[in-house]
Amino acid sequence: DIVMTQSPDSLGVSLGERATINCKSSQSVLYSSNNKNYLAWYQQKPGQPPKLLIYWASTRASGVPDRFSGSGSGTDFTLTIRSLQAEDVAVYYCQHYYGPPPITFGPGTKVDIK
Amino acid sequence: QVQLVQSGAAVKKPGASVKVSCKASGYSFTSHYMHWVRQAPGQGLEWLGVINPRGGSPTYAQKFQGRITMTMDTSTSTVYMEVSSLRPEDTAVYYCTRDPISYSTSGCFDPWGQGTLVTVSS
């Protein structure tokens, strides 16, 4: 199984500042035949289900503000929140969907206001 | 709009079974795979399996093989997930979630149902 790790575990960021979350997979999730990274990011606020933010490592889902961006390839990925807003306080998860099951998630990164 | 509405919370004793439903609306039910994911209290996300509403056998995470059964009713656009031989560690919020790609599977999830809390306690 592909193991997903995230860093840091938690992050305190001032309003308007940048938040950066890292995600690493235990093996590459880049599919060479289509050059796509099978990596997604989700945001989960307390008491709510997760919400898809980014798929194919860098494509924003519909309706997601452009302050959210994803980057990386292969085994190393980053979610950046360009200018943190109060409503961005949440736990963020990366997830791979490469190859045969199981699909696995990272352990999550909690983002708070500093 | 696309909506996934799940059944209500359940409390079960160890060894019992629970069946959670997920009713889809706002799109063509048979055109999108449906996944199930669970989240234990204060913990992360765990993928359980996927069902293709056009038919064929569901695919389950190996950890749950033999204990999970996913089924569907196309006449009501509803998918079901049953977990048997429940243990206290199965206490979690169970989510259904749709694969956003039509007639194929990408493996990412959008949107999600509201979640169903299943509590296993004697």
Say how many C-beta atoms besides its own lie within 10 A of residue A75's C-beta.
Answer: 17
Residues A43-72 pLDDT 10s: 999 999 999 999 999 999 999 999 999 999
Answer yes or no: do A95 and B112 touch at CB < 8 A. no
Total length of chain A: 114
Taking the C-alpha atoms of residue A101 and residue B24, their distance in angstroms, rounded to an integer, is: 24
Low-confidence spans in chain A with pLDDT less than 70: none
Query: pLDDT at residue B104 above 80?
Result: no
Residue B103 structure tokens:
């007639």
Residues 6+ apart with CB under 8 A from B42: none
- Please tell me if residue A60 touches chain B, with a CB cutoff of 8 Å: no
Q: What is the pLDDT of residue A100?
A: 85
For strands A90-96 and A104-105, give the pairing: antiparallel
Mutation target among A103, A104, A105, A109 for the B interface, most CBs of B within 10 A: A103
Taking the C-alpha atoms of residue B24 and residue B76, their distance in angstroms, rounded to an integer, is: 8
Identify which of B59, B95, B108 has the shortest CB distance to residue A55. Answer: B108
**Peptide bond connecting A50 to the previous residue in cis, omega within 30 degrees of 0:** no
Query: pLDDT at residue B101 above 90?
Result: no
Taking the C-alpha atoms of residue B122 and residue B120, their distance in angstroms, rounded to an integer, is: 7
Residues 6+ apart with CB under 8 A from B57: none
Q: What is the pLDDT of residue B9?
A: 98
More confident residue, B97 or B54: B97
A&B contacts, CB < 8 Å? 61
DSSP A25-87: ESS--EETTTTEE-EEEEEE-TTS--EEEEETTTEEPTT--TTEEEEEETTEEEEEESS--GG
Give the three-class secondary structure for B90: helix
Q: Mean pLDDT of all residues in chain A?
A: 96
Mutation target among B46, B110, B116, B117 for the A interface, most CBs of A within 10 A: B110
For strands B10-12 and B116-120, give the pairing: parallel
CA-nearest residue of chain A to B95? A49
Residues B2-52 pLDDT 10s: 999 999 999 999 999 999 999 999 999 999 999 999 999 999 999 999 999
Closest to A15 in 3D by CA, of A109, A89, A91, A110: A89
**Peptide bond connecting A100 to the previous residue in cis, omega within 30 degrees of 0:** no
Q: What is the pLDDT of residue A15?
A: 97
